[in-house]
Structure 1
Amino acid sequence: MEVFEQAHRHFIIYKPYGYLSQFYSNSKQQHKKRFLGDLYDFPEGSMAIGRLDEKSEGLLLITTDGKMSDFVNSQKVDKEYYAQVNGDITEDAIATLKTGVEIGFEGKKYMTKPCRVFKLDKEPCLPERSKKIRDSRHGPTSWVSITLNEGKFRQVRKMTSAVGFPTLRLVRVRVGAINLDSMNTGDVIEVNAFDLNF
């Protein structure tokens, strides 16, 4: 078990859809965007650990401790995502995701590492997203759990697209042993330490 306890401050948040994983705008082009600082008055020096892109939601850890950030971003900590994909995902596609798929990263081809993937039997109980997902009139959707210990930019979205099932909604539900549990969109919980429990 790894427990970090320092004089730093740590937060667990449920990042909503449509928010950037930064605390304020650093360009005029972003003046209409929404930021983590719009959710809570985070202390100076706060940083998001393992960012989620603007269209992704879910568990995000915030800390003032750079060493903690580096550790969680290392390949020692699993991150689990629930992805709602376009279509009824096949066992073949899941098997391919498990073994690794080729995606583009920084202008080059990259083969993802083996990971844990399975289809969810039913739609997970998650807060409703602020922007509606298309309805069933446009065809079926399905949900998969994908657990990675790497985190390339937009990796899960690229992976599901590579096997023919583009991601419609993406929610990070777990980092190490920290889970979303019953958190609601926009919730911010300050904790004394991150117990990653592995």
Structure 2
Amino acid sequence: MNRYFVLNKPYNMLSQFKGNEQEIRMLGELDFDFPEGIHAVGRLDATSEGLLLLTTNKRVTNLLFQGKEPHSRTYHVMVRNNVSDEKLQQLRNGVRIRISGDEYYTTPPCEANIIPAPVGLVKREGDITREVPHTWLSITIFEGKFRQVRKMVQAIGHPCKRLIRVSIEDIHLGSLEAGGVKEMDETEFFRLLKIVFVPPAVSGK
């Protein structure tokens, strides 16, 4: 039977269990007894934080991120300096970002709003102080190019200083603390992600 988990991925941790050639922590170093065959659904950069889905079901990534129907992802993003209404509207309308080399991509319209600083965040070394101008944004996108949100805010002239994924569709990070893991029921997991659950076929004798 497959199992499903929600994780609040800490800062400076890779979204993988093995194959690390860098001196950065991996998911297997968390204080949790994960089952055999567990893997992350999609990824967050090592320096990004927040909601990461884990499962032993190898089909979930294709169903969620590679299917025809787009699925929302919401991020809380701290950027340098004060964001004007004009810059915010640029984000909402779509901005041109570099994919790689000479390949560029114009992001589709997204939801973007200025929000208060999230409550209860663990301070990190090198964080912006209150005295330094900065803005917290909530950004919801429906696709996920490499480092897309970071590139989007950079494109409007506001470098990203902290990025936290807070939801994927109707699965929310909520009050789960950094490094915390919560197991979910299979039916509820699929329902909240708005993807169709197809149980594995049972072979007859």
TM-score normalised over the length of structure 1: 0.88
- Given residue 112 of structure 1, which amino acid in structure 2 is its aligned partner? T
**1:49, CA displacement in angstroms?**
1.2
Kept in 2: contact 1:50–1:151 (CA 8 A): no
Tell me the alpha carbon deviations over residues 116-146 of structure 1, each in whole angstroms, 9 at most, x when there is no partner. Answer: 11111x2111431443412144x31110100
Tell me the alpha carbon deviations over residues 59-116 of structure 1, each in whole angstroms, 9 at most, x when there is no partner. Answer: 0000111221212224521000000000011111111111111111132111111111
Kept in 1: contact 2:97–2:105 (CA 8 A): yes
Kept in 1: contact 2:17–2:28 (CA 8 A): yes
Cα 1:175/1:126, change in 2 over 3 Å = farther
1:33 matched residue in structure 2: 24
Work out which of the two has the higher radius of gyration on C-alpha atoms and give 1 or 2: 2
- Consecutive unaligned residues of structure 2, counting only runs of 5 or more, are 195-205
2:201 matched residue in structure 1: none
TM-score normalised over the length of structure 2: 0.86
CA RMSD of aligned residues (A): 1.5
**Paired residue total:** 187
Which one of the candidate residues 101, 110, 116 is aligned to 2:111? 116
1:176-191 correspondence to structure 2 within 5 Å: 176-191=169-184
Kept in 1: contact 2:168–2:193 (CA 8 A): no
The answer to whether residue 70 in structure 2 is matched with residue 76 in structure 1 is yes
1:61 matched residue in structure 2: 53
The answer to whether residue 162 in structure 2 is matched with residue 166 in structure 1 is no
- Given residue 54 of structure 1, which amino acid in structure 2 is its aligned partner? A
